Chains A and B, each alone.
Chain A
Amino acid sequence: MKSFWVFLGSSLAKMVLVVFLAPLFVGWLNMVRALMANRTPPGLLQPFKDWGKLFTKEIIIPEGSSMLFRWIPRIVFSLLLMSSLLVPMTEPHDDGWVFGDALVLIGILSLVRVLMSLGAMDSGTPFGGIGGRREMMVGFLAEPATILVIFTTYLVSHSTMTFVTADSLQSGSILPTPSLVFGGLSFFLILLGENARMPIDNPATHLELTMIHEAMMLEYTGPSLALMEWASAIKILVYLLMGIGLFFPWGVTGGPGWSGLLPAFGMLAGKLFMAGAILGVFETLVAKLRIFRVPEFMTLAFLLAILGFLSHFVLET
């Protein structure tokens, strides 16, 4: 059992790390996308520059919006930072001091989604309303699949704590079981849907009829916009860390000591590098789905999750 101060210190360090790692990851992802499209890529630090510039600008509050609109960027940002404490990064097993399991993580993430939709609807513009509703639709289709994926990993590792799952998988066989393959595929689809990535939503467009995520961001300006963008970068990082922890945990340190921290961090950086490359290439290769095909996409995620769940009972017992 660690002491309270060690826990506090490591949590703060992790939060700071996540805050600075998230823009780096988004920068890398944008670089890959630009390279795949034969454009000159922006630098790795481009998100820092963009958002830093936004922080120097003034906030314009739309007429008729309530206090909710002003507070939501800060609340969303801090909730997502909090959720990053629930996913394993370089430490596998934080005994005793973790305040929740993967279901709590999903709860926090859906709270974030509700708040973002509320904020989008608050200003009363039609685009915000459309964006908020579409986001809620994608979310409610993705949530059952996410929970089933969590249950599948629970069946394999007998715990819903992401840390314990990572730990038990790490000590297991290197060859994935069918249930984890199905679960991992399902989680990949969920990740694309929840983070407004390519087949569901184009993160680089401002075309009115197709956007989901950007429609919700339209009314935010200056520091609020920067916080919202930063928050979505943290969200995709949290999802990726969760995916890595549940399906590719190899290389997370075994012990609580400091000595394992550096190689573990190297492994993590390598995995994120690979994840960004795969995501960027995948996003360039697929075409965006019509909004009415989104339920189909999410049904596929749900189906894969169920198959993983069933396969555990049939094939692995």
Chain B
Amino acid sequence: MSHPLEQSLIELLGGLLLLTVFAMLSIRRIFSMIRIFVLQGLILSASTFIVGLVSGEKHLLFQAFITFFLKVVVLPFLLFRLVQRLRLRGDVEVVLNVPVTMVTGIFVVIFSYAVASPLSQMAMTVSRGLIGVGLATVLLSFLVILTRRKAVTQVLGLLSLENGLLFSATNATYGMPMIVELGVALDVLVGTLLFGVFFFQIRESFENLDLERLERTWED
């Protein structure tokens, strides 16, 4: 490798990204989850920025700035305001208990590392070893969505999933074309706004954000 320092810095950031998803899995409070999401966005934009510097791809730098603006500034602001207006506080209800979720998470990581290792041998990018980390982030975010009941935390899982996808794309192929990135960023923003409206609707109809109640009404 011609960039040993940047290389190990990117690897370090990849490891930290994985750590934030595990923190999301294990944490019980909504506010802390949003804070971890901010941290995740910060790590993602830093790693995108460094990959952009190393590879010389200009659009990755733009993407890093968009990621920073959207995921460290705008989305957390929206989410914090939403949580405050919905007056959600206290513990998130989890479906599985935390140690079981974490052990499942370990297996998910092993699985995605195993799946990604042939992929990363084919890729030609600087940071190809990190495809496994990106895949693990995606699958662990699925796990976050699966193990949470509240709508807000499920949306946080979805956003973290999108982070994982972006990370994989950056490290596997130096990102998607600029127009796709912009589209995705706009989609995420609009999606979060729509979800905000949905939350109010759900709560007005069912007096709760617990999504299990939605399933129950179908049976009644």
Contacts and interface: CB of A to CB of B under 8 A. Distances in A.
Contact of B8 (A173, A299, A303, A313): A173
Contacts of A181: 12, 15-16
Given A310-B113, A315-B130, A178 B14 contact: yes
Nearest to B18: A307
Nearest to B13: A178
Contacts of A315: 11, 14-15, 129-130, 133
Interface string A278-317: 0000000000000000011001100110110011011110
A159 interface: no
B10 to A, nearest CB: 9
Interface of B: prevailing SS: helix
Nearest to A185: B19
A178 B99 contact: no
A296 B8 contact: no
Contact of B109 (A175, A178, A310, A316): A310
Nearest to A182: B15
A296 B99 CA distance: 6
Contacts of A173: 4-5, 8
Contacts of A179: 15
A299 B129 contact: no
Contacts of A175: 5, 8-9, 12
B132 interface: yes
Contact of A178 (B4, B15, B116): B15
Interface in A173-199: 173, 175-179, 181-182, 185
Contacts of A300: 26, 102
B12 A178 contact: yes
B168 to A, nearest CB: 14
Contacts of B14: 178, 315
A177 B15 CA distance: 9
A287 to B, nearest CB: 13
A314 B117 contact: yes
Contacts, number: 66
A310 B109 CA distance: 9
A27 B129 CA distance: 46
Contact of B19 (A177, A182, A299): A182
B4 to A, nearest CB: 7
B132 to A, nearest CB: 5
A314 B103 contact: no
Interface in B1-35: 4-5, 8-9, 11-12, 14-16, 18-19, 22, 26
A176 B13 CA distance: 11
B2 to A, nearest CB: 15
A311 B8 CA distance: 12
Given A307-B109, A310-B109, A295 B99 contact: yes
A306 B106 contact: yes
A314 B12 contact: no
Interface in A152-184: 173, 175-179, 181-182
A296 B130 CA distance: 28
A177 B102 contact: no
Contacts of A177: 8, 11-12
Nearest to A300: B26
B29 to A, nearest CB: 13
Contacts of B129: 314-316
Contacts of A176: 12
B99 A299 contact: yes
Contacts of B110: 310
Contacts of A182: 15, 19
A167 B22 CA distance: 32
A306 B22 CA distance: 13
A178 B105 CA distance: 18
A303 B12 contact: no
A294 to B, nearest CB: 11
A27 to B, nearest CB: 34
Contact of B106 (A303, A313, A316): A303
Interface in B133-148: 133
A315 B109 CA distance: 13
A177 B99 CA distance: 26
Interface of A: 173, 175-179, 181-182, 185, 295-296, 299-300, 303-304, 306-307, 310-311, 313-316
20 contacts: A173-B5, A175-B9, A177-B12, A178-B12, A178-B15, A181-B15, A181-B16, A182-B15, A295-B99, A296-B26, A296-B99, A299-B98, A299-B99, A307-B18, A311-B15, A314-B116, A314-B132, A315-B14, A315-B133, A316-B129
Lowest 10 A-B CB distances belong to which pairs?
A178-B15, A299-B99, A315-B11, A314-B113, A315-B129, A175-B8, A303-B102, A314-B132, A178-B11, A296-B98
Given A299-B99, A303-B106, 11 more contacts: A175-B8, A181-B15, A182-B19, A185-B19, A295-B99, A307-B19, A307-B109, A310-B109, A311-B15, A313-B113, A315-B11
